[in-house]
Each structure stands twice: as structure tokens, then as C-alpha cells.
Amino acid sequence: MDTSARPHPLHRIMVTGASAGIGRAIVRLLAGRGHQLHAIARGEEKLAALARETGCTFDAVDIRDLQRMRQVVDTVKPAVLVNNAGTSRATRVLAATPEAIAETIETNITATLGLTRLALTHMLEAGGGQIVTIGSVAGIHPTPSTVYGATKGALHRLSQALRLELLGTGIRITEICPGLTDTTLVTDELRRHAGGAKMLDPDDVADAVRYAIEAPQHVNIATIELLSVEQAMGGAHFKPVAGDRTK
């Protein structure tokens, strides 16, 4: 369903992790369509450049600082929150340090959940709104990215449960689950595993976000699983038997 040809309501949209990659692409696209954008990230210089380009407002803040984020949310009062900020610092359990695991959990789960709660208080007062969370196919399907996948799996369950908790409030809950996307979060290991296959572009994910936000207000785009045509999820993998010469 193409929503680009018909008028859509304009929103105050807060996007986290907006200084690069998917977040920056989301701000660029939605600002170009007339929405009011407020960008959140840690890098002030990159945010300032994005503001000059798109006209967005911004705050340079770490989303893990919930006291500061409460001040920002209370000022902006977003009608739409796009939870995009995250880290892939910890992927495999055995290869990750305890510090990397803790940071991944704190950023991807704890901070995202806390920020969502802050935004929801204003949406409930307004009688509507939307939470859009950038998850991952690693949160739906088993992958070797064990720690990262576990945090995205938690966000997948969060989105599903919030739809039940908020039923009747007019608040829409959307989860966008991309596959491999060409950003700095893609590890060297994953790039080698991709073997040069075409990955998604950040603009591809941004357009899925646009589609979900600009859908008619009575429509909730619940979950979008977004893959490059050269990537597929599922199947089974087996350790080769010693001496097995089959290909």
C-alpha cells in the first residue's frame, strides 16, 4: 500500500541514534516530508550538521542517561518515538567481555525501555501516538550474534506485549526488523560472512519507518521483517563429519 500519494498528518518525531546510519536516514527522509524531527545522539557535531541539512532540532545526549532524557522528552513531547539507538559491541558470548555484554544490555534494552516509558506518559495524555522500534531479524531468528540477538529478542517481545498493554489507548506499536544493513554496526565478521552480497541500505529501512508512520491512523503496522534479496533466515546448519567429502 503506497501512502506517499495521499496527505498524511504531520508529527513531532524523536529519533535516537540519529547521527549516522539508519537514524540519520530516518531524519532526512521524514524531515523532507514535512514532519518535525528531533534528533538524539551522542555526537554533537554530527547532529549540528544534520540540523543544518534538515532543519531538525537536536540534543546531544546518551540515551542511558535517563535523567537527562526525561528533561528532553518532557520538553519535546514527541508524538512518535523511533527507538533506533543501539550497539552491537557484544555479539558472541564467548568472544565478548563482561563489560561489553553489560553495555549492550544497558543500551539496547534498559535505556530503550526507560525512554519508551517516558515517551508513553505524554502519548497517553495526548490520547495517541506511536512507538517505532528498530529491532533486527536476529531478534526473531537464531543467529550467531548471541548477545546482540538476545537484546533484540527482548525488544521484539517488548513490542508484542506493549500492543496488549496499550490496547484501547490509540497508541500504535511498530517494530522494524532489518537484516544486514550497511552501517558501522555491521562487524567485520558479518561482512566476511556476507561474502560481498548486497546488503540493505539505511534508506531502505528509513522508508519502512515512513510507511509505518504515515499509514492511516486506524492501521498499526505491527512488524516488518526487511531483508536484502541475497539474505534469507532459517534453515539448519550441521558440523561436518570428519572425513566427509560431500559438498
Catalytic site positions: 148
Cell of 229: 534479496
Cell of 178: 532489518
Which residues neighbour 94 within 8 Å (Cβ) at sequence distance 6 or greater? Answer: none
Q: Which amino acid is at 110?
A: T
Place of cell 566476511: 192
Which residues neighbour 86 within 8 Å (Cβ) at sequence distance 6 or greater? Answer: 17, 107, 108, 112, 134, 151, 185
The answer to whether 18 touches 30, Cβ cutoff 8 Å, is no
Which residues partner with 41 through β-bridges?
A: 60
